[in-house]
Structure 1
Amino acid sequence: MKKAENIIVGISIGDLNGIGSEVVLKTFEDSRMLELCTPVIFANVKILSFIKKNLELTAQLHGIDKLEQLVIGKINVLNVWREGVDLNFGTNDENVGKYAIKSFVAATKALKEGQIDVLVTAPINKYNIQSEEFKFPGHTEYLNQELEGNALMLMVQDNLRIGLLTDHIPVNEVAKHLTEKLVIQKIETIKNSLIQDFAVSKPKIAVLALNPHAGDNGVIGKEDDEILKPTIKKLFEKGTLVFGPYPADGFFGSGQYEKFDAVIATYHDQGLIPFKTLSFGNGVNYTAGLAKIRTSPDHGTAYEIAGKGMADHNSFKEAVYTAIDIYNSRHQYLEISKNPLKTKEKQL
């Protein structure tokens, strides 16, 4: 296994007019972070130096032109582009969006090729990143195309983990996306992630109902009775510890979520609203189900405070911690899988 500082954390810079650069630089101002990993930021060292000066930050940046020049223990900035970029903090700029995607695409390529160990993405603006070359609602969908597996958005904060059956789709389309195949795929993905990424040997998973009161026996919708219940039953009978569907309001209101290793919400806001309420600004978005590891903070570009030095970097720092923890957990899982007897002897 790699030494801690030799774990290479790739960082896509996100929207340069937002708070992404600020939370990245604030995270690595703490020199202790460089004992846990070596960061490489996919951007341009001159632009980050300008932002650092503007925010009166002290992080020492090390510019490189190719990943082979990376220096362990330094805050490396890979020059993905050379030209200057006009910044106007707090504004939605299509040109700035193009550079967010340049950074993200380059970082994803490095992740795919094993040049970095994990990827942590700073926030993008989903509107200004759209182009003929990039037609994805966000990071997750592009990663699902580029990397092996079936991506699942999993929000993480300590033992609170909330995954999504559907993510970036309109609410009025959620019901038509719910199928037995999708439910099985997502539950299997989250189960496998809990085992290999979070070292939970026998995961216990809860599924939230789509409709109020879980449909009230079909009075308020039939999806829970016709899709979720029979699929959950089928998986349970095959040995997966999955339960539900539970009405979301009472489930969180009563603290029932604390009894499970993970919760699966049927749509974006059903999962994200309670998660962000309970995680107190320290939540992390993890893309489970892929061959490679990607995390991000659970917030957006926050244009209203961009460039003012007011951004809280805790969620980004937690995203780095989580990526490293999952990286180590996966390697330990692989070691056990390869030689379970030897691992057992060590424990004895």
Structure 2
Amino acid sequence: MKQEENIKVGISIGDLNGIGGEIILKTFEDSRVLDFCTPVIFASAKTMNFLKTHFKSEINFNNINNLSQIAHNKVNVFNCWKDEVKIEFGKEDMKIGAFAIKSLESATKALKDGEVDVLVTAPINKHNIQSEAFKFPGHTDYLAQELEGESLMFMITDTLRVGLLTDHVPVKDVSTHITSALIEQKINTVYNSLLKDFRIQRPKIAILGINPHTGDNGVIGSEDDEVLRPTLHKIKAQGKLVFGPYAADSFFGSNNYKNFDAIIASYHDQGLIPFKTLSFGQGVNYTAGLNKVRTSPDHGTAYEIAGKGVADENSFKEAVFSAIRIFKNRTSYEQLTANPLKKSPKKERR
């Protein structure tokens, strides 16, 4: 297994008019981070030097044109464009969106080719990235196409993990998307991620209901009784510790979430509102279920504070360290399963 300092972290620059550049610089201004990984920012030397000057950063970049030139104990910048970039903080700009995609595509190729070990993505604007060539709602959907596996949006902290049955789906369409096959797929993805990526030996997973009060015996919708409960019974019969469905309105307020290793919400806001309320600025968005590791901070471009030097880098920094931990856990799990006589490590502390 690679030593921590050799784990190469590919970083897509995100929306340059947002706070992505600032939080990247702040994260790696602490040189101690370089003891744990080798960062590779996918952008350009000119762009990063502009950001360095604007934010009065003292980072010395190692500018490279070939990924074979990556240097350890340095903040590497891989030049994936030569164009002049006009950065106007706080402004939505389609041209800036195009640079965000250039960075993402270049970093993803490096990830697929094994030139970097993990990917950490800075925030993008989901509107200005759209083009004839790129028609994805966001990072997760694009990476699901480019990488192998079944992707799942998994919001994580040290003590809370929330997955989603449906992610960027309009509320009016949620119930039609939730099928028995989808429920099985997402639960299996969460279960396997807890085993491999977080080294939890007997995961306990809670499922939140689709309708208010899980349908109140059909009074407020039939999906919980007709789709969700029968599927959960089937999964329980396979020996998995899966519980629910629970009424979402009281689940987090009652602290019941603390009894589980992960919670699966039926739709985006049902899971992300409580997650961000409990952990905003400390959480990480992890794309579970893929053959490569990708994380990102739990916030967006924050145009309203972009360029002002006041952005909090903690979520991005945690995304970097989470990617490293997951990569190490997954690697050791693969080694353990290849050599089952090797002693199993203790369950990860929660």
1:14 is displaced (CA, Å) by: 0.2
Aligned to 2:274: 274
1:116-157 deviations in Å (ceiling 9; x for gaps): 000000000000000011000000001000100000000001
1:62 is displaced (CA, Å) by: 1.2
1:80-108 deviations in Å (ceiling 9; x for gaps): 00111111100000000000000001101
1:275-294 equivalences in 2 (<5 Å)? 275-294=275-294
CA distance in 1, matches of 2:275, 2:329: 23
- CA contact 2:280–2:298 (8 Å) conserved in 1: no
CA distance in 2, matches of 1:202, 1:3: 27
CA distance in 2, matches of 1:320, 1:178: 32
CA distance in 2, matches of 1:343, 1:209: 39
Going from structure 1 to structure 2, the CA distance change for 1:97 and 1:280 (only over 3 Å counts) comes to closer
CA distance in 2, matches of 1:310, 1:52: 15
Give, as a single letter, the amino acid of the residue that structure 1 aligns with 2:326.
I
1:270-315 deviations in Å (ceiling 9; x for gaps): 0000000111410000000000000000000000000000100000
CA distance in 2, matches of 1:264, 1:58: 42
Aligned to 1:38: 38
Question: Secondary structure at 1:323's aligned position in 2?
Answer: helix
CA distance in 1, matches of 2:4, 2:178: 41
Aligned to 1:206: 206
Aligned to 2:51: 51
Question: Secondary structure at 2:136's aligned position in 1?
Answer: coil
Aligned to 2:258: 258
1:200 is displaced (CA, Å) by: 0.4
- Does residue 1:87 correspond to 2:87, yes or no? yes
- Does residue 1:143 correspond to 2:143, yes or no? yes
1:190 is displaced (CA, Å) by: 0.4
Question: Secondary structure at 2:341's aligned position in 1?
Answer: helix
Give, as a single letter, the amino acid of the residue that structure 2 aligns with 1:124.
I
CA distance in 2, matches of 1:47, 1:310: 20
1:344 is displaced (CA, Å) by: 5.8
- CA contact 2:154–2:287 (8 Å) conserved in 1: yes
- Does residue 1:233 correspond to 2:236, yes or no? no
CA distance in 2, matches of 1:344, 1:288: 22
1:5-154 equivalences in 2 (<5 Å)? 5-154=5-154
- CA contact 1:26–1:59 (8 Å) conserved in 2: no
Give, as a single letter, the amino acid of the residue that structure 1 aligns with 2:61.
L
CA distance in 2, matches of 1:225, 1:57: 56
Aligned to 1:223: 223
Aligned to 1:242: 242
Identity among equivalent pairs (%): 63
Give, as a single letter, the amino acid of the residue that structure 1 aligns with 2:110.
A
Aligned to 1:327: 327
- CA contact 2:80–2:106 (8 Å) conserved in 1: yes
TM-score, normalised by the number of residues in structure 1: 0.98
- CA contact 1:67–1:78 (8 Å) conserved in 2: yes
CA distance in 2, matches of 1:279, 1:271: 12
Aligned to 1:315: 315
- CA contact 1:295–1:322 (8 Å) conserved in 2: yes
CA distance in 1, matches of 2:34, 2:87: 28
- CA contact 1:207–1:244 (8 Å) conserved in 2: yes
1:159 is displaced (CA, Å) by: 2.1
Aligned to 2:4: 4
CA distance in 2, matches of 1:54, 1:312: 17
Give, as a single letter, the amino acid of the residue that structure 2 aligns with 1:24.
I
Q: Mean Cα displacement is larger for which, 1-10 or 304-313?
A: 1-10
1:57 is displaced (CA, Å) by: 1.6
Q: What is the aligned-residue RMSD (CA, Å)?
A: 0.9
CA distance in 2, matches of 1:48, 1:269: 35
CA distance in 2, matches of 1:27, 1:154: 22
1:177-203 deviations in Å (ceiling 9; x for gaps): 010000000000000000000000111
CA distance in 1, matches of 2:26, 2:235: 45
- CA contact 1:123–1:300 (8 Å) conserved in 2: yes
Aligned to 1:180: 180
1:55-76 deviations in Å (ceiling 9; x for gaps): 1122221110010111011000
Give, as a single letter, the amino acid of the residue that structure 2 aligns with 1:318.
E
Going from structure 1 to structure 2, the CA distance change for 1:305 and 1:338 (only over 3 Å counts) comes to same
What is the aligned length? 345
1:342 is displaced (CA, Å) by: 3.1
Question: Secondary structure at 1:129's aligned position in 2?
Answer: coil
Question: Secondary structure at 1:200's aligned position in 2?
Answer: coil
CA distance in 2, matches of 1:149, 1:303: 33
1:322 is displaced (CA, Å) by: 0.3
